[in-house]
């Protein structure tokens, strides 16, 4: 006597394969959705929108902006920042 309309082992194997494929697609869909939602901010550093073609963000020159960013990242100390900023403003 055949159970479940005669599917046999082939039917059960196909059902198991399709169930695994279904869950792989569901998990992949969730991963793609999460990457899509968070992808717009991925790789950007904080501090506002990117600067476009030499246009300063906060009213200073591009050189002053670069100096301020280096100071904010800790690449230069306060004394060096002030010295270089004074030098930049004197040569405008």
89: pLDDT confidence band, cut at 50, 70 and 90? confident
Render pLDDT for 24-71 as a digit per residue (tens, 0 to 9).
999 999 999 999 888 755 454 555 545 444 444 555 788 888 989 999
The pTM assigned to this predicted structure is 0.38
What is the predicted pLDDT for the residue at 61? 82
What is the predicted pLDDT for the residue at 62? 86
Residue 81 has pLDDT above 90, yes or no: yes
CA nearest neighbour of 69 among 48, 42, 83, 41: 48
- Tell me the helix, strand and coil percentages in the chain, rounded to 5: 65, 0, 35
């Amino acid at each position: 006597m055949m159970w479940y309309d005669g599917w046999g082992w082939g039917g059960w194997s196909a059902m198991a394969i399709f169930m695994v494929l279904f869950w792989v697609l569901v998990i992949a869909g969730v991963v793609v959705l999460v990457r899509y939602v968070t992808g717009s901010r991925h790789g950007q550093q904080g501090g506002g929108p990117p600067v476009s073609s030499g246009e300063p963000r906060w009213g200073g020159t591009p050189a002053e902006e670069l100096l301020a960013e280096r100071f904010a990242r800790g690449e230069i100390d306060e004394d060096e920042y002030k010295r270089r900023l004074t030098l930049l403003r004197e040569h405008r």
